[in-house]
Amino acid sequence: EKAGHKHFMAKEIAEQPTVIAEALSYYLSADGNGIVLPDPGLDFTAYDRIVMVACGTAFYACYTAKYWFEQVARIPVEIDVASEFRYREPPVAPNTLAIFVSQSGETADTLAALRYMAGKAATILSVVNVAESSIARESDLALPIRAGVEVGVASTKAFSCQLTVLALLALEAALQRGEMTADSHAVRLAELRSLPGLLTRALDLDEWLNAVSNDLAESRDVLFLGRGMMYPLALEGALKLKEISYIHAEGYASGELKHGPIALIDSHTPVIVFAPHDTLFDKTVSNMQEVMARGGRVLLVSDRKGLALASDGVWQTVTMPEVPDLFAPILYAIPAQLIAYHTAVAKGTDVDQPRNLAKSVTVE
């Protein structure tokens, strides 16, 4: 049932090229050039803003999607964790699209936040893995992520499929709102279709990431840094590492480091930097150099171009395939997950059933 893997988590990480291809083919028209949403569809010109609510890893998928919706579709997006949102009882402006993201579709806080928004938001949309779940049932439209059953408590393939569906939605919104030409829309869709191939190449780094993770297993604390869309991924990388390896980890926006957390840097604290060679690369690298100047040990995850420019003095490098800027978070989820996985295996923790955690959190 683990298809030759030692853990469900390893199997589910390895399945990502396949399930993402499946999610894409579910939503793309037969010629691959259009997005087809289930009935009744969505009219993105009817909304002035989006509110996205979820918990844990699903929340980090929302955080990433905020960058997409704002950058490509120019819609303002508010995000919050469900446990805060529900009791904050925020006022809801007219023409709000509310999006709830949940693998299980049964998370109590997310469901309560959805019920709070029912009758206040113009549309309740959910992005779920379990199509017959409470959250799906109570939505105006439920979009399945098509990840298949996820057994490992730590969410992996559900995260990347959530990202894939949210990326498609952002592109659809951009097209409908006239923020993107049909030509560049077609280019972006072709980029998405190239992702499964890139993910397969990233999975080839498994052995190297295993080697690197053996050193991480000795650490008491690990920091994850990223900028722009890599910032939510830094948060997700830290969550993944702490939940299965029990190593204390924090994700920070690279530029925020000098406002306090840089005090944590010493030679015992590995700093993992997600930095594809994108428009923010130089900024991230300068933050990384501040870390190294204080004796920090940096693991730089970048591509060939980025590493050629910035690998001087770093402790370890991971060479990722080049990826279109917009979709880098989906590809860089692979090293984030594999680092957590191999570190946990090196420590001998129960990877699929970490202590104190349940797969579906149906109580608040």
243 lies in the binding site for ligand F6R (CB under 6 A): yes
Identify which of 81, 76, 19, 29 has the alpha carbon closest to the alpha carbon of residue 53.
81
- Measured on CA atoms in the order 324, 165, 22, 335, is the torsion positive or negative? positive
57/287 with CB nearer ligand F6R: 57
Kindly state the smallest distance separating residue 243's Cβ from ligand F6R, in Å: 6
173-212 footprint of ligand F6R as x/- string (CB under 6 A): ----------------------------------------
d(CA 12, CA 19): 9
Kindly state the smallest distance separating residue 57's Cβ from ligand F6R, in Å: 3
d(CA 283, CA 175): 30
- CB-based contacts of 295, cutoff 8 Å, min separation 6: 265, 266, 267
127/173 with CB nearer ligand F6R: 127
d(CA 141, CA 38): 8
Kindly state the smallest distance separating residue 162's Cβ from ligand F6R, in Å: 8
305 given a catalytic annotation: no
Q: What are the helix and strand counts (H, E) for the chain?
A: 14, 10
**Cα angle at 363 between 357 and 364, to 5 degrees?**
95
8/44 with CB nearer ligand F6R: 8
- CB-based contacts of 286, cutoff 8 Å, min separation 6: none
154 lies in the binding site for ligand F6R (CB under 6 A): yes
Q: What type of residue is 360?
A: S
Identify which of 252, 227, 188, 256 has the alpha carbon closest to the alpha carbon of residue 24.
188
CA 107 to chain centre: 18
155 lies in the binding site for ligand F6R (CB under 6 A): yes
Q: What are phi and psi of 148, to 5 degrees?
A: 80, 175
Residues 41-60 that bind ligand F6R (CB under 6 A): 55-58
Q: Ramachandran region of residue 356, left (φ > 0), alpha (ψ -120 to 50) or beta?
A: left
243/278 with CB nearer ligand F6R: 243
20/307 with CB nearer ligand F6R: 20
236/303 with CB nearer ligand F6R: 236
Kindly state the smallest distance separating residue 270's Cβ from ligand F6R, in Å: 21
Kindly state the smallest distance separating residue 113's Cβ from ligand F6R, in Å: 11
Q: Which residue's C-beta sits nearest to ligand F6R?
A: 56
227/240 with CB nearer ligand F6R: 240
Q: Ramachandran region of residue 297, left (φ > 0), alpha (ψ -120 to 50) or beta?
A: beta
Query: Which listed residue (120, 242, 347, 359) is catalytic?
Result: 359
Kindly state the smallest distance separating residue 112's Cβ from ligand F6R, in Å: 12
Residues 59-118 that bind ligand F6R (CB under 6 A): 102-104, 107, 110
Kindly state the smallest distance separating residue 55's Cβ from ligand F6R, in Å: 4
How many other C-beta atoms can be found within 10 angstroms of the C-beta atom of residue 300?
25
Q: How many residues bind ligand F6R (CB under 6 A)?
A: 15
Contacting positions for ligand F6R (CB under 6 A): 55-58, 102-104, 107, 110, 154-155, 239, 243, 360-361
Please identify every residue annotated as catalytic. 359
